[in-house]
């Protein structure tokens, strides 16, 4: 089954441009004397289909950068374009539409507790307009098969292991056919073997869909899956050591 068929791309999204272009992006938290610059003039580009890892010590601003790219926060200073769409001064509606094209995988799996694995994945597939319920359900099942959970479809998150939950989360993110996947330490709650399996799976499926990936990780053992590794320190990009 071609899961990319009939995909609907909002007209403001351009396919030729890089997936993400950032120039001089800064971000502050707090007010008054508590105000702190968390991101300082960040510049980077992610091309479509590229798998990029982002590392750096805790508290250096990686998550903040991810939420900005994910259109979850307002841009305060600098330029941030996702699929050519300028996020500075963007409306709520634009950000919501853009988010439909951005897959997110969290450190905690953040699955809906009251839904089965299949239903959770279908919540992702349901975001695609113009498909019947049956097609969306079949796609959800297909994604679960691709992440190796064909026999766990009717289980609630409660009854799944950590690795299985993260697989469901990947299936859910990909089921919405995103152009870019943002993953924040997706392996943090997993043991190293399972963690390795998960990132390998993530990389393979993303490459199959020519979906870009920006993954935050602390784990030096998985750096080899990346096309490129970015390093941050204290809110600034630093050149990674070769």
Partner 1 sequence: MRHLLQGRRIPLAWLLLTRQPIRLLVALAGISFAGILMFMQLGFREGLFDASVTVHRMFDTDLVLISPRSMSSISMSGFPRRRLVQTMAHPAVSGTTPVNWNFLLWRNPQTLVTRSILALGFEPTDSILNDPQLSYKTESLTKPGRVLFDKLSRKEFGPISEWYEQGKIVETEVAGKRVRVSGLVSLGPSFGADGNLLTSRETFLKLLPSTPTGSIEIGLIRLKSGYNKQSVADAISSSLPKDVRVLTREEFIDFEKNYWRTSTSIGFIFTLGAVMGFVVGCVIVYQILYSDVSDHLPEYATLMAMGYRLKTLLGVVAREGVLLAVMGYLPAYMAAQGLYALVRSSTRLPVAMDLDRSLLVFSLILLMCMGSALLAMRRLVDADPAEIF
Ligand X SMILES: Nc1ncnc2c1ncn2[C@@H]1O[C@H](COP(=O)(O)OP(=O)(O)O)[C@@H](O)[C@H]1O
Q: List contacts with Mg ion (CB under 5 A).
A: 63
Among 3, 18, 62, 118, the residue binding ligand X under the rule CB under 6 A is: 62
Minimum gap (Å) between residue 52 Cβ and ligand X: 15
Q: Between 89 and 130, whose beta carbon lies closer to partner 1?
A: 130
Question: Which partner from the list Mg ion, ligand X, partner 1, none does 61 bind, CB cut-off 5 to 8 Å by kind?
Answer: ligand X
Binding site for partner 1 (CB under 8 A): 63, 66-67, 70, 72-73, 96-102, 104, 106-107, 110, 112-115, 119, 122-124, 126-127, 129-134, 156, 172-173, 176, 184
Minimum gap (Å) between residue 185 Cβ and ligand X: 8
Question: Which partner from the list ligand X, Mg ion, partner 1, none does 72 bind, CB cut-off 5 to 8 Å by kind?
Answer: partner 1
Minimum gap (Å) between residue 67 Cβ and ligand X: 8
Q: Between 65 and 117, whose beta carbon lies closer to Mg ion?
A: 65
Minimum gap (Å) between residue 193 Cβ and partner 1: 25
Does 60 bind ligand X (CB under 6 A)? Our answer is yes
Interaction with ligand X in 156-175: which residues (CB under 6 A)? none
Q: Between 58 and 132, whose beta carbon lies closer to ligand X?
A: 58
Does 59 bind ligand X (CB under 6 A)? Our answer is yes
Question: Which partner from the list ligand X, partner 1, Mg ion, none does 30 bind, CB cut-off 5 to 8 Å by kind?
Answer: ligand X
- Say how far apart CA 81 and CA 23 lie, in whole Å: 9
- Say how far apart CA 110 and CA 22 lie, in whole Å: 28
Nearest alpha carbon to residue 119 among 139, 104, 99, 146: 139
- Say how far apart CA 149 and CA 63 lie, in whole Å: 29
List interacting residues with ligand X (CB under 6 A): 29-30, 38, 58-64
């Amino acid at each position: 089954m071609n899961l990319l068929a009939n995909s609907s791309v909002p007209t403001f999204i351009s396919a030729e441009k890089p997936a993400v272009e950032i120039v001089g992006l800064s971000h502050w938290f707090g007010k008054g004397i508590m105000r702190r610059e968390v991101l300082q003039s960040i510049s980077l580009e992610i091309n479509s289909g590229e798998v990029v890892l982002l590392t750096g010590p805790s508290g250096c601003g990686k998550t903040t950068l991810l939420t900005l790219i994910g259109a979850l926060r307002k841009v305060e200073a600098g330029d941030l374009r996702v699929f050519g769409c300028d996020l500075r001064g963007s409306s709520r509606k634009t950000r919501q539409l853009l988010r439909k094209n951005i897959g997110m995988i969290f450190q905690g799996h953040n699955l809906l507790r009251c839904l089965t694995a299949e239903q959770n994945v279908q919540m992702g597939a349901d975001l695609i307009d113009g498909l019947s319920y049956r097609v969306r359900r079949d796609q959800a099942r297909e994604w679960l098969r691709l992440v190796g959970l064909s026999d766990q479809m009717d289980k609630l998150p409660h009854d799944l292991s950590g690795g299985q939950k993260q697989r469901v989360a990947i299936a859910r993110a990909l089921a919405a056919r995103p152009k870019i996947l943002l993953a924040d330490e997706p392996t943090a709650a997993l043991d190293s073997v399972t963690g390795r399996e998960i990132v390998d799976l993530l990389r393979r499926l993303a490459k199959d869909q020519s979906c870009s990936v920006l993954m935050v990780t602390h784990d030096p053992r998985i750096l080899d899956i990346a096309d490129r590794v970015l390093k941050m320190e204290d809110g600034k990009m630093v050149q990674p050591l070769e």
